[in-house]
Amino acid sequence: MAESRTTNPEHVTTGPLPGATPCVLDVKGLKTHFRTREGTLRALEGVSFSVAPREILGVVGESGCGKSITAASILRILPPEAHIAGGEILFQTRNGEMVDLAQLKPKSRRVRRIRGDEISMVFQEPMTAFSPVHTIGNQIIEALRLHQRCTPQRARKRAVDMLNSVGMPRPSQLIDSYPFELSGGMRQRAMIAMALVCQPRMLIADEPTTALDVTIEAQILQLMRELQQDLGMAIMIITHDLSVVAEMSRNVLVMYLGQDVEYGTVEQIFFEPKHPYTRELLASVPRLGKKSGERLHTIKGTVPSLYERPEGCTFHPRCPDCIPGLCDSQAPGVFGLDDRHRVRCHLYRK
C-alpha cells in the first residue's frame, strides 16, 4: 500500500491533478442540513468530490445515505426546510467562469439559468419531470426556448432531432404524445431528450434506470454513454446498483450517512476496495460478491435514521472491523492512499 497521508476531511481537494484539465464540478466539504421541529438533521456532513469534463462519476451507497440530497444541493432544488450549511460547489460554466453554486440564492436568475442550460437532471420517475397536461414535445420545446433564442419552427425541429437521437421511434409523430401515452422506457427517453436539448456541460442522473426492466435499463445506459461521447458532457450517475456503476463510471464515490467514505477509480473501488463499507457493499452484490455455492452476504443492520447518527465513525455499529474505544468515539479523517484513492476510516490512519 502507498504511504498514507492525512487530509482535513472538510478541505479535501479532489480537484484535477497538476497540469490536468480543470474540473467541471468540484464539491468541497458540502454540508446540507434540515431544520425540523426536533432539531437539526445533518443530511450531508462533509462530502467532497470532483468531476472532470467528459467524465462519468458513479455515486453509490444504500438508500438514505444522502445521494439525492447531494444532487438537489448542486442543482439548488432542496426542499424549503433544507439549507446548505457549509462547503463549496464550484462549477465551471461554458465560458470558463468558476461559480460557487452554494453561494447563490436558490431562486436567483443565475441559478435558474445554469440549471437546465448548463447542468440538467434526469431521475427515476419521468412522470414527475413532465406535466401530464402538455405534450412531451411542447415541454421539450419550452425547456429549449427558456434558455436559448430560437424560432418555434427551429425549436420543434431541434426537439424532433433530440427525440430521434434518444432512440424514440417515429419522433415527428410521438412528439405530440402526452406523457401517459408513452411506455416507461419511452418516457425515460423523452426525459433524457428534455434534459439534453440545451446541450448541458453536465448531466446528473439520479437512479435513472431503477424503475425500468433490465433490457430497457441496458438500452438507456448505452444511450447515455453514446450521448455523453457525442455531446462531450460530464455525467454524475447516482445509483444504489453497483453493477450500473461498474459498467458506466471512470471514478466512483461511495457515500454513507451523508459523507464520502471512499473515492477512487472504478478499478480501485472494485478490485482494491479499502473502506469496510465498500467491501460490505461489494460482498452483498449477487454477481460481484458470490462465489458458487456461497450464501449471499448481507450487511449487518440498516442505515440509521439521521435522528440517531452514531458517535465516532457513523458506520461503526455495522462495521466488521470496528476498533472498540476508537471507532465508537472518534470520527475518522480522510486518508489519501494515492493521487485519486482516498478513504475515511481509522484503519488507514498514519
| Residue choice 117, 315, 337, 342 for contact with ligand SF4 (CB under 6 A) | 315
87 near ligand SF4, judged by CB under 6 A = no
Residues with Cβ within 8 Å of 295's Cβ and at least 6 positions away in sequence, in order, are none
The single residue listed with the C-alpha cell 458532457 is 233
Start-to-end Cα distance in the chain: 12
| Residue choice 119, 174, 313, 337 for contact with ligand SF4 (CB under 6 A) | 313
**Residue with Cβ nearer ligand ADP (173 or 243):** 243
CA torsion 116→122→127→133, rounded to 10°?
20
62 near ligand SF4, judged by CB under 6 A = no
C-alpha 183/C-alpha 143 separation (Å) is: 22
Least CB distance to Mg ion at residue 124 (A) = 8
148 to 187: interface string for Mg ion, x by CB under 5 A: ----------------------------------------
Least CB distance to ligand SF4 at residue 309 (A) = 13
Contact 120, 204 (CB under 8 A): yes
274 to 303: interface string for ligand SF4, x by CB under 6 A: --x---------------------------
C-alpha 288/C-alpha 270 separation (Å) is: 9
Least CB distance to ligand ADP at residue 256 (A) = 10
Least CB distance to ligand SF4 at residue 46 (A) = 14
C-alpha 120/C-alpha 256 separation (Å) is: 25
Contact 54, 65 (CB under 8 A): no
285 binding partner (options ligand SF4, Mg ion, ligand ADP, none; Cβ < 5 to 8 Å by kind):
none
The alpha helices in 77-151, defined as continuous H runs, are: 109-117, 126-129, 136-147
Least CB distance to ligand SF4 at residue 344 (A) = 7
Helix%, strand%, coil% for the chain, nearest 5: 35, 25, 40
**Residue with Cβ nearer Mg ion (195 or 345):** 195
* Residues of this chain that bind ligand ADP (CB under 6 A): 34, 41, 43, 61, 63-69, 79, 81, 306
Q: Note the residues at the interface with Mg ion (CB under 5 A).
A: 67-68
